């Protein structure tokens, strides 16, 4: 069909898709409480609230500002390299830990372990001892950040997998949406709480790190208690040992009589683990077999890529546009602080503009995907990213009025809300139902790879080459344009899969949020 014919057919296709959408909307849907109570569902979603607070306050906001502050005298590259290092560890180990969880068929123990480790190392960010130089304080905290962010990202793998514990194929999309919605609430809670303790109470940034750890743990506890995969299993012995180790580390780091408190609880955890009956985590085969199965599956997935038109090209394009989007989010607070002199309160408002526009636009983008398809929608989303990048660059290089920078988070929020609304359904169109799990694992790996090269490129451009932050945004702009060009030859026409590539259920893509590297 020629371009002219496509244009002429567009109104008719639009009406047809709108009619199909309305018919689907009117069909009765399975209740969301089919498999779990509403209380369990919200207990699960509260974990999303807690980990979003970590994502916003540590990864995207205050820790980066602390690194480049006069307090420790760090640079963009210090934060960029630390971020890239943690994501490289995730990239290398994610297939392994995901397969271990799948073959064990139990995710909650892994989620508990990763969350506890993340909380412990987040709480000691900014830690210093008498006599430590600025560089020592910075180096120690960057190491703690790498560990905390690694366990946060690893925890997302297990948390997303626990969706199957409380949902069915007929309602997991809506339950996952509850988690995303509650997660956005976490963004607002985190930003407002941090703003209060820094500007009103006058506490330094390390207090924000400790508050983040506390809130993450508090909101995660309901998920650990009220979302149960196998009630007959008992996982506490191994977890008690881990808690004892982490408490022992904190007792060593603390000074004075207060160090005896975590030491006491560490000893208590050891004795509790000895007196509790344990259940092996791996019931089917050994860890070695699970690991071997992981890499065998990954090799098979890669070998099948060429069999499905457009899939490999889409994944390559995704590397580019997720690289640009994630990197711009990670360094946004540093950019507006250093280039425009924004105070913490202004950065908080700047961030909340993006959060609100993302929430509202997400619903609109979802409807647009159903009406015009994911390709047109994703193209439109990328143009919003282009507009946001243009504002970030031109206000510095061209001397445009400073007030125009406040349009950038609004446009970026709109783009953020639409990226995943279009990105995941696009992938779903290109993937045969039978292999949806395998290819979405590869899809996630592509996203994580982008979160490695993004911070690295920012660090090299800003500090190693000395071109400055606007040049780094310009590079991200070019990277996203490359991704846009690559995607233009990938169509979103529904595939007619043969029976051997069909599944017994209608698969849905995994839930997640860009900027969190799922």
Report the C-alpha gap between 446 and 161 in whole angstroms: 18
Q: Which two tokens stand for residue 36?
A: 């779990």
Give backbone dihedrals phi and psi of 125, rounded to 5 degrees, phi first.
-65, 140
Instruction: For residues 224 and 340, state if they share a domain.
Output: no
> Residue 4: is its pLDDT beyond 70?
no
Domain that holds residue 230: 34-235+279-296
Do residues 433 and 83 lie in contact, with contact meaning Cβ atoms separated by under 8 Å? no
Residue 272 is assigned to a structural domain of this protein: no
User: How much is the pTM?
Assistant: 0.81
**Confidence class for position 507, pLDDT limits 50, 70, 90:** very low
Residues 288 and 355 in one domain: no
Whether residue 12 is predicted with pLDDT greater than 60 in this model: the reply is: yes
- Shared domain for 369 and 504, answered yes or no, is yes
* In-domain check, residue 247: no
Q: How many whole angstroms separate alpha carbon 156 and alpha carbon 452?
A: 17
Confidence of residue 503 (pLDDT cuts 50, 70, 90): low
CATH number of the domain within which 142 lies: 1.20.1250.20
Over range 363-375, report the average pLDDT: 79
Q: Please tell me whether residues 226 and 375 are part of one structural domain.
A: no
Residue 511 DSSP one-character state: P
Distances in whole angstroms, Cα of residue 140 to Cα of each of 114, 120, 132, 135, 459: 20, 14, 10, 9, 19
Q: Report the distance separating Cα 242 and Cα 237, nearest Å.
A: 9
Q: Is pLDDT of 381 > 60?
A: yes
**Residue 505 host element (H or E):** none
Same-domain check for residues 474 and 509 = yes
Of 63, 80, 81, 76, the C-alpha closest to 127 is 63
Same domain, 163 and 185: yes
- Same domain assignment for residues 437 and 348: yes
- 363 and 215 fall within a common domain: no
259 within some domain: no
Nearest to 181 by CA among 414, 423, 513, 416: 513
263 domain-assigned: no
Q: Is residue 456 part of a domain?
A: yes
Q: Which of 54-58, 443-447, 461-465, 472-476 has the lowest mean pLDDT?
A: 443-447
In this prediction, residue 23 carries a pLDDT of 64
Q: Kindly state whether residues 180 and 321 are assigned to the same domain.
A: no
pLDDT, tens only, 414-423: 998 788 778 8
Note the pLDDT of residue 400. 81
Per-residue pLDDT, averaged over 114-141, amounts to 90
pLDDT surpassing 70 at residue 275: no
| pLDDT of amino acid 274 | 67
Q: What is the pLDDT of residue 184?
A: 80
Cβ-proximal residues to 298 (8 Å cutoff; 6+ apart), any chain: 95, 441, 442
Is the pLDDT assigned to residue 458 strictly greater than 90? yes
pLDDT tens profile 287-331:
566 666 667 767 777 777 778 888 889 999 999 999 999 999 999
| Same domain (yes/no): 291, 365 | no
Q: How many domains does the chain have?
A: 2
Q: Which of 405, 419, 408 is nearest to 366 (CA)?
A: 419
- Reply yes or no on whether the pLDDT at 502 is more than 80: no
Task: Please say which residue of 262, 296, 330 terminates a domain.
Answer: 296
Residue 180 resides in a domain? yes
Q: Which two tokens stand for residue 73?
A: 């005298």
Give one DSSP letter per residue of 1-42, joined into a string.
Answer: --HHHHHHHHHHHHHHHHHHHHHHHHS----TTSSS-HHHHH
E strand or H helix at 406, and its extent? Answer: none
Let me know how long the chain is.
Answer: 518
Q: Are residues 287 and 423 in the same domain?
A: no
Least confident range of 77-91, 197-211, 232-246, 336-350 = 232-246
Highest mean pLDDT among 39-43, 239-243, 252-256: 39-43
Task: State the pLDDT at residue 293.
Answer: 67
Chain-centroid distance, C-alpha 34: 28
pLDDT category at 148 given cuts 50, 70, 90 is very high
Residue 43 lies in a domain: yes
Max mean pLDDT range (14-18, 282-286, 445-449, 464-468): 464-468
Q: What is the model's pLDDT at position 478?
A: 95
Q: Which residue has the higher pLDDT, 517 or 385?
A: 385
Has residue 517 got a pLDDT over 50? no
- Residue 371 is given by DSSP the state H
3-state secondary structure 426-479: HHHHHCCHHHHHHHHHHHHHHHHHHHHHHHHHHHHHHHHCCCCHHHHHHHHHHH
Q: Is 352 part of any domain?
A: yes
Residues 329 and 468 in one domain: yes
- Fill in the DSSP letter of residue 403: G
Residues near 268 by Cβ (< 8 Å), separated by ≥ 6? none
The answer to whether residue 211 scores a pLDDT higher than 50 is: yes
């Amino acid at each position: 069909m020629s371009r002219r014919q496509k244009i002429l057919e567009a109104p008719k296709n639009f009406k047809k898709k709108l009619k199909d959408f309305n018919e689907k909307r009117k069909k009765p849907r399975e209740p969301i409480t089919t498999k779990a109570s509403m209380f369990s569902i919200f207990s699960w979603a509260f974990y999303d609230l807690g980990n979003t607070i970590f994502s916003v306050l540590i990864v995207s906001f205050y820790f980066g500002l602390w690194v480049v502050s006069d307090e420790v005298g760090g640079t963009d590259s210090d934060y960029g390299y630390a971020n890239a290092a943690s994501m490289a560890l995730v990239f290398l180990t994610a297939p392994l830990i995901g397969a271990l969880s799948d073959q064990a068929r139990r995710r909650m123990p892994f989620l508990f372990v990763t969350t506890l480790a993340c909380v412990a190392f987040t709480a000691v960010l900014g830690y210093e001892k008498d006599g430590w130089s600025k560089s020592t304080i910075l180096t120690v905290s960057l190491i703690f950040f790498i560990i905390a962010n690694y366990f946060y990202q690893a925890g997302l793998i297990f948390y997303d997998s626990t969706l199957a514990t409380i949902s069915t194929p007929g309602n997991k999309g809506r339950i996952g949406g509850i988690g995303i919605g509650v997660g956005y609430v976490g963004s607002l809670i985190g930003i407002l709480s941090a703003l209060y303790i820094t500007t009103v109470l006058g506490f330094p940034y390390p207090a924000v790190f400790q508050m983040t750890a506390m809130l993450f743990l508090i909101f995660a506890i309901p998920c650990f208690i009220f979302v149960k995969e196998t009630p007959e299993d008992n996982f506490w012995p191994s977890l008690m040992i881990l808690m004892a180790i982490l408490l022992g580390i904190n007792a060593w780091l603390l000074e004075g009589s207060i160090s005896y408190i975590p030491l006491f609880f560490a000893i208590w955890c050891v004795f509790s683990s000895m007196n509790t009956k344990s259940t092996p985590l791996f019931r089917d085969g050994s860890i070695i077999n699970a690991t071997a199965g992981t890499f065998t599956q990954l090799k098979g997935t890669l070998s099948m890529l060429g069999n499905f038109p457009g899939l490999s090209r889409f994944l390559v394009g995704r590397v580019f546009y997720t690289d640009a989007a994630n990197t711009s989010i990670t360094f946004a607070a540093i950019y507006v602080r250093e280039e425009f002199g924004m105070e913490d309160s202004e950065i908080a408002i700047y961030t909340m503009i993006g959060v609100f526009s993302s929430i509202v636009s997400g619903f609109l983008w979802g409807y647009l995907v159903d009406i015009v398809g994911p390709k047109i929608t994703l193209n439109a989303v990328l143009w919003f990213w282009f507009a946001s990048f243009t504002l970030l660059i031109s206000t510095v290089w061209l001397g445009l009025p400073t007030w125009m920078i406040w349009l950038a988070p609004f446009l970026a929020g709109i783009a953020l809300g639409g990226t995943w609304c279009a990105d995941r359904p696009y992938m779903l169109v290109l993937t045969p139902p039978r292999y949806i799990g395998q290819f979405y694992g590869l899809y996630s790996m592509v996203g994580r790879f982008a979160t490695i090269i993004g911070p690295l490129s920012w660090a090299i451009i800003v500090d190693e080459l000395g071109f400055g932050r606007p040049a780094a945004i310009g590079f991200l702009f070019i990277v996203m344009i490359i991704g846009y060009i690559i995607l233009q030859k990938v169509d979103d026409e529904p595939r007619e899969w043969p029976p051997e590539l069909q599944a017994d259920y209608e698969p849905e893509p995994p839930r997640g949020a860009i900027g969190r590297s799922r």
